[in-house]
Amino acid sequence: MRTGAAHPLRRARRAVLLAALALHPVARAVRGAALPPGASPRLPRLGALGVDEGNVDRAWPAFIAELRRLGRAEGRDFELLRRRAEVDRPDRLPALAQELVAAQVDVIYAENGSPAAVAAARATATIPIVFFSSADPVGLGLVQSLARPGGNVTGGMGLGYETASKGLELLAEAVQQVRQVVFFVPPTDRRLPGVAGLEPRLRATAERMGVRLVFAEPASADALIERLPALKQERTDAAIVFDFPRYARDQARIAQACIAHRLPAYGYAAAGFLLHITQDREELARMAARQVDRILSGARPDELPVEQLMVLQLVLNLRTARALGLRVPASVVARASEVIE
């Protein structure tokens, strides 16, 4: 046998290894180009796409902190390109997604909900995309299934529409004798992916409960507050105020206005609303960060199942209940994970 000649099996294994390395983000960036002496390979580029939620955004710091815990620091291990649409311009998301594609990012993190994920998926079928808490990734066509995404998209999600339906049920149980509920949603958000799919689910839940669900579309927190005095004349018994970006920064002011008009409302309980159902947004962001880390390490998104956070938490504000003159049933209080006294 000749010495110094590579065995055919070893040559084949070496070829497979080289092919795998060529697929790694850093290897792709430098493949085919000689680096100047002393130069470093281009850092992997992480693109982030979402709507600007201002200082109420608790998920983004958790996402960055989890990447750091996994050994990835911005500037040292990856370059960050963050694109955010203004709170009243979610229609800009498709153009911002195209900017990230043109910048040749290695992965896109759709950081706050379905609209960003859909915009990214429409912009590229090849760059890996990790979504954060998409309400219905299968129904929206982002993935083929949660277990086998099948394309360039994966991520972390909560219970989506089930959270909203359960919130409506608990609101009616807490208030009692509810006949009509108004759901406030900005007109720019009502037609967005994810929100549009929420409406039929909520209507089906309300119909099953024997409750009339009315949609109102104030474009701002001020417009919502101006709408409140007329609701009693319209026989409205309760309201739902999700933290849509156009309402999120004024949650406390909206909650106090609802109390002043004796209107029990579902919304962020710590801001003063009666109750809300929540999932740990920080943990959802950490789930997405772990998916991003795996992809930057060479994993393919079609091989990464969509992770789900299955725990729902009820937060109940008894201080608000007293201000409204409500006696919340013990059955609701007993289910609360957190009670604000």
Per-residue pLDDT reduced to its tens digit, 27-79: 444 333 455 555 567 899 999 999 887 655 678 999 999 999 999 999 999 99
Residue 20's pLDDT is what? 41
Name the amino acid, one letter, at 141. G
Return the minimum-mean-pLDDT range out of 105-119, 156-170, 186-200, 259-273: 186-200
b/e map of 224-257 (b: 16 or more CB within 10 Å)?
A: bbebbeebeeeebbbbbbbbbbbbbebbebbbbb
For residue 317, what are the β-bridge partners? 340
Residues 6+ apart with CB under 8 A from 35: 41
Instruction: Count Cβ atoms below 10 Å from residue 196 Cβ, excluding itself.
Output: 14
Each residue of 67-112: pLDDT tens digit? 999 999 999 999 999 999 987 788 899 999 999 999 999 999 999 7
Residue 27's pLDDT is what? 40
265, 274 Cβ separation under 8 angstroms: yes
Each residue of 148-159: pLDDT tens digit? 999 999 998 887
Rounded-to-integer distance, Cα 144 and Cα 110, Å: 18
- The structural domains of the chain, ordered by start, are 45-159+280-308 (3.40.50.2300), 161-278+313-340 (3.40.50.2300)
Rounded-to-integer distance, Cα 313 and Cα 339, Å: 11
Residues 6+ apart with CB under 8 A from 2: none
For residue 82, what are the β-bridge partners? 48
Higher pLDDT, 226 or 188: 226
Residue 31's pLDDT is what? 37
b/e map of 162-183 (b: 16 or more CB within 10 Å)?
A: ebbbebbbbbbbbbeebebbbb
Higher pLDDT, 135 or 317: 317
Rounded-to-integer distance, Cα 53 and Cα 115, Å: 14
Residue 297's pLDDT is what? 96
Q: How far is CA 188 from the centre of its chain?
A: 17
Q: Which two tokens stand for residue 217?
A: 């579309």
Mean pLDDT over the full length of the chain: 86
Q: What is the dihedral of CA 223, 229, 231, 232, to 10 degrees?
A: 170
User: How confident is the model over 180-205, as a mean pLDDT?
Assistant: 85
Higher pLDDT, 207 or 22: 207
Higher pLDDT, 183 or 5: 183
Rounded-to-integer distance, Cα 260 and Cα 221, Å: 15
Read off the pLDDT band of 1 (50, 70, 90). Answer: very low
Percent of the chain beyond pLDDT 90? 62
